[in-house]
Protein backbone atom coordinates (compact mmCIF):
# COMPACT_ATOMS: atom_id res chain seq x y z
CA UNK A 1 0.00 0.00 0.00
CA UNK A 2 2.71 2.49 0.93
CA UNK A 3 4.56 1.87 -2.33
CA UNK A 4 1.48 2.62 -4.42
CA UNK A 5 0.36 5.61 -2.34
CA UNK A 6 3.17 8.13 -2.55
CA UNK A 7 1.56 10.38 0.09
CA UNK A 8 2.32 7.84 2.83
CA UNK A 9 5.97 7.72 1.79
CA UNK A 10 6.17 11.52 1.78
CA UNK A 11 4.47 11.64 5.19
CA UNK A 12 6.88 9.08 6.59
CA UNK A 13 9.94 10.93 5.26
CA UNK A 14 8.50 14.20 6.59
CA UNK A 15 8.00 12.62 10.01
CA UNK A 16 11.49 11.12 10.02
CA UNK A 17 13.52 14.12 8.87
CA UNK A 18 11.54 17.11 10.15
CA UNK A 19 10.35 15.37 13.27
CA UNK A 20 12.92 12.93 14.54
CA UNK A 21 16.16 14.19 12.98
CA UNK A 22 15.60 17.95 13.13
CA UNK A 23 14.07 17.96 16.61
CA UNK A 24 16.67 15.54 17.92
CA UNK A 25 19.54 17.55 16.47
CA UNK A 26 18.15 20.84 17.74
CA UNK A 27 17.62 19.43 21.23
CA UNK A 28 21.20 18.13 21.22
CA UNK A 29 22.48 21.58 20.20
CA UNK A 30 20.41 23.23 22.92
CA UNK A 31 21.65 20.73 25.51
CA UNK A 32 25.24 21.39 24.38
CA UNK A 33 24.60 25.13 24.67
CA UNK A 34 25.53 25.63 21.01
CA UNK A 35 22.06 26.88 20.11
CA UNK A 36 19.39 28.81 21.94
CA UNK A 37 15.78 28.36 20.90
CA UNK A 38 13.00 30.56 22.19
CA UNK A 39 9.81 28.88 23.30
CA UNK A 40 7.83 30.89 20.77
CA UNK A 41 9.97 29.70 17.85
CA UNK A 42 9.97 26.12 19.16
CA UNK A 43 6.18 25.96 19.53
CA UNK A 44 5.71 27.63 16.15
CA UNK A 45 7.87 24.89 14.63
CA UNK A 46 5.93 22.15 16.43
CA UNK A 47 2.56 23.56 15.40
CA UNK A 48 3.65 23.81 11.77
CA UNK A 49 5.18 20.34 11.86
CA UNK A 50 2.19 18.56 13.39
CA UNK A 51 -0.36 20.29 11.17
CA UNK A 52 1.58 19.57 7.98
CA UNK A 53 2.11 16.00 9.13
CA UNK A 54 -1.61 15.55 9.71
CA UNK A 55 -2.37 17.07 6.30
CA UNK A 56 0.10 14.79 4.51
CA UNK A 57 -1.32 11.65 6.08
CA UNK A 58 -4.87 12.93 5.53
CA UNK A 59 -4.14 13.16 1.79
CA UNK A 60 -2.70 9.63 1.83
CA UNK A 61 -5.77 8.26 3.60
CA UNK A 62 -8.03 10.18 1.21
CA UNK A 63 -6.27 8.60 -1.78
CA UNK A 64 -6.38 5.15 -0.18
CA UNK A 65 -10.09 5.35 0.72
CA UNK A 66 -11.01 7.13 -2.55
CA UNK A 67 -12.53 10.30 -1.14
CA UNK A 68 -11.82 13.87 -2.07
CA UNK A 69 -9.53 16.19 -0.17
CA UNK A 70 -11.08 19.40 1.09
CA UNK A 71 -11.05 22.56 -0.96
CA UNK A 72 -8.02 24.70 -0.20
CA UNK A 73 -5.91 21.74 0.95
CA UNK A 74 -2.79 22.87 -0.90
CA UNK A 75 -3.12 26.45 0.34
CA UNK A 76 -3.37 25.29 3.96
CA UNK A 77 -0.41 22.96 3.45
CA UNK A 78 1.66 25.78 1.94
CA UNK A 79 0.79 28.19 4.76
CA UNK A 80 1.68 25.65 7.44
CA UNK A 81 4.94 24.88 5.64
CA UNK A 82 5.74 28.58 5.67
CA UNK A 83 5.14 28.47 9.44
CA UNK A 84 7.97 25.95 9.75
CA UNK A 85 10.27 28.14 7.65
CA UNK A 86 9.42 31.24 9.71
CA UNK A 87 10.14 29.39 12.96
CA UNK A 88 13.54 28.27 11.64
CA UNK A 89 14.38 31.83 10.59
CA UNK A 90 13.40 33.03 14.09
CA UNK A 91 15.60 30.39 15.70
CA UNK A 92 18.64 31.12 13.58
CA UNK A 93 18.29 34.89 13.53
CA UNK A 94 18.00 35.03 17.33
CA UNK A 95 21.24 33.07 17.61
CA UNK A 96 23.05 35.21 15.04
CA UNK A 97 21.81 38.38 16.72
CA UNK A 98 23.00 37.20 20.14
CA UNK A 99 26.36 36.08 18.76
CA UNK A 100 26.87 39.37 16.93
CA UNK A 101 26.07 41.40 20.08
CA UNK A 102 28.50 39.41 22.26
CA distance 44 to 5: 29
pLDDT digits (tens, 9 = 90+) for 66-91: 999 999 999 999 999 999 999 999 98
In the chain, where the domains are located: 6-101
Q: What is the pLDDT at residue 36? A: 87
Q: How many CB atoms lie within 10 A of CB 99?
A: 9
Report if pTM > 0.75: yes
CA 74, distance to chain mean position in Å, is 15
The confidence band for 19, taking pLDDT boundaries of 50, 70 and 90, is confident
Provide the CB-side half-sphere exposure for 74 (13 A, CA).
1
Amino acid sequence: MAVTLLDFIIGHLHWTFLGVVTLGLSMFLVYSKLLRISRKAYFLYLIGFFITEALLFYKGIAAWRNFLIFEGYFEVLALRSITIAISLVLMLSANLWNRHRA
